[in-house]
Amino acid sequence: MSGLRLMHVHAHPDDESSKGAASTAKYVAEGVDVHVATCTGGERGSILNPKMDRPDILENISEVRRQEMERARDILGIRQDWLGFVDSGWPDGDPKPPLPEGCFALVPLEEAAAPLVRLIREFRPHVLTTYDERGGYPHPDHVMCHKISVEAFAAAGDPERYPDLGEPWQPLKLYYHHSFNRPRMQAIHEAMIAHGLESPWAERLQEWKPEPEWDARITTRVPCADYFGVRDQALLAHATQIDPDGFWFAVPRSLQEEVWPTEDFELVTSHVETTLPEDDLFAGIDVSAQGLA
C-alpha cells in the first residue's frame, strides 16, 4: 500500500476517532499516508464526559480539544491539519435559534471550501472521505463539512477553479461514511440481548425508522476488526467528549469483532474502474501503473 494517500474530512476534533478510525489505523499499518482535515476547533462542543466537566476545562476548551486531537493523531499515526473555522454549536430549542455570526456553517461555500482545496492540492490524496448529505447526523457543521468536501473534490482538479491555491490534483474516489447504519446497530443489539447483556441501542432502535434504500447505499465494507483497539484508544484521547463508562464502550470488543468486523462506506464518485461491492477504499487504484505517485 506504500505510495497511496487517503484524506478524511471531519467537522470537529473527535470525529476522526468516532468515524472510520479502525480502517484508518489499518491503512496506516499497511503503509498508506493518511491525512485528516478538521474543519473546526470544536469550540462550542459540550463536555460529554462527566469526569471532565470542570470549570478549568470549560474556560480553556479550545486548547484542551487541540491537545486531545494531538493525542488521537499520534495514536492513529496520521497527519492532521485544521481548516481554521469556528464551531457552529448545536442549535437547541423550539424554534431553533439562529446560528452564531461567523461560524463555519454560515461561511459562503466557495470561501469555506478554499482551504480544503489548497490542502488537497498539497497532500494529493487518491481517496477522499466525508459525510453524506445529512451530515451523518444533522449538526450544522457536519452538513457544511459534506458541502465543502463535495465542492473541493470537484474543484481541486480543475485548473480554472481556485487558480491561486496550488497545482490541480484530482482525487480518484469520493466516499461517504456510513459507520452508524441501522443494520449494524440492529445486529449488535441482538447479539447483546442473546448474550444476556443490556444493549445501549435498545431505545435508539425503537425510534430509528428503517430505511432499506438508505442502507443499500453502502458499497464498501473494510475489514478492520484487528484495529478496534486502536480506535478505542483514539476515542479515549478525546476525554472531554467520550465517557469511558458510556455507550461507546458498553459493547464488548470481542462481540463487535464477531458481529460486525467492518467499517462501512458509500462510493459516491470514482474516476477509476472498480467492482461493487468493495472491501477496500483503494480498489481499482494502481499508483505505479496509473502514474499517480
Helix (H, G, I), strand (E, B) or coil at 186: helix
Say whether 232 counts as a known binding-site residue: no
Instruction: Report yes or no: 130 and 177 within 8 Å, Cβ to Cβ.
Output: yes
Positive or negative, the Cα torsion across 178, 272, 150, 45? positive
Give the distance from CA 216 to its chain's centroid. 20
* Rounded CA Rg of the chain: 19
Say whether 142 counts as a known binding-site residue: yes
Q: C-alpha grid cell for residue 74? A: 499520534
234, 153, 261, 235 alpha-carbon torsion, rounded to 10°: 10
Output phi, psi for 244, to 5 deg: -65, -15
Say whether 178 counts as a known binding-site residue: no
Q: Report the alpha-carbon distance of residue 252 to residue 237 in Å, rounded.
A: 19
**Residue positions forming the annotated binding site:** 12, 15, 142
Q: Which residues are annotated as a binding site for Zn(2+)?
A: 12, 15, 142
